[in-house]
Chain A
Amino acid sequence: MKCIIIDDEATARTIIRQLCLSANNLNVVEEFPNAIQAIKYLNKNQVDLIFLDIHMPDFTGFDFIETLKTPPKIIITTSDRNLAIEAFEYDCIVDFLVKPIELPRFLKAIKKVEKTLSKKQIESTSVNEEKSDHELYVNIDRRLIKIDIPSIYLIEAKGDYIQVKTETKNYIVHSTLKKIEDKLPENSFLKVHRSYIINIKKIIDIEDNSVLIKKDIIPVSRSNRPELMKRLNLL
């Protein structure tokens, strides 16, 4: 089960992560100190379960739920016992855990989630994730050609087409950067310019506003540079 943690308190996030280790089939894919960052993540990613704090500055947990069109299952984690009645007005809320959360109570909540989520749903999320992380099928001359995603190092927009460059071969595909961007794993690929998506794992070096990737020098737009720098393991 893919899950995320939303809590403005680092201590609480660390405790929930630790509790998740004791449950089978729980994979914490991300954690967020506020709901806004989580909304951005959920616009592009799917999860089965959210551990959600209610009292957060600016945007409460309930505000957050209201923004979700199709919310996944949610477990409320809070120090406020009084919110329980309000919480159960939301169908997506499966359980309500009062901090400090004890392990047996936590595991009981997870069982409740497992019961409500059909096995099929859980498998479907995992399968989709596996697919998008490893391979991509593109339509070229009425043939569906499989491209190994980790081998892609650069994608360039060329009018109504995109050029996908891999370690072994280049492909011209009738598509857009936006469409392919949605299919690529976020942790490896980044749009650095309106015409280029790069695989950040294949970068050779970065100089001023360009990156060298294989033999290609790719411009990095000013607006995308901070995100690129954030992704690098800088010494």
Chain B
Amino acid sequence: MEKPNLTYIHNLSGGDKEFKKKIISIIKEEYPEEINEYYTNFNLKNYSIAATNVHKLKHKISILGLEESYEIAAEYENNLKEGNSILSDKFEIILQNITDYLITL
């Protein structure tokens, strides 16, 4: 499984430590809220809304350098729009991977 990284954030910061601290703190705050929203909608089988949640989460996935995971999320988002949840297990592994990583920051 690919590992999340801070390469994008590091490049964006241009060495600005305050910015790095700030953006990591925002991600750590926003990410659990987005996940909860996703699980709520997914469990209620509100797949079209869950697709918008996945769409939003895709940004975090890409910021953390998870290219393969991003492709899976993009496919999953399209599937959900059509009412198909077949990639949900794979997507949940991606979410857990990020959760575990954010704890270490």
Contacts and interface: CB of A to CB of B under 8 A. Distances in A.
A103 B52 contact: no
Contacts of A12: 59
Contact of B12 (A8, A10, A15, A80): A15
A57 B29 CA distance: 19
- Highest count of chain B CB atoms <10 Å: which of A8, A19, A55: A55
Interface of A: 8-12, 14-15, 18-19, 22, 55, 57, 79-80, 99-100, 102-103
B62 interface: yes
A9 B30 contact: yes
B30 A11 contact: yes
Interface in B51-105: 52, 55-56, 58-60, 62-63
A145 B30 CA distance: 52
Given A10-B30, A11-B23, A11-B30, A79 B55 contact: yes
Interface string B1-45: 000000010011110100100110011011000000000000000
B22 A79 contact: no
8 contacts: A12-B59, A14-B23, A14-B26, A18-B16, A18-B19, A79-B58, A100-B62, A103-B12
A233 to B, nearest CB: 20
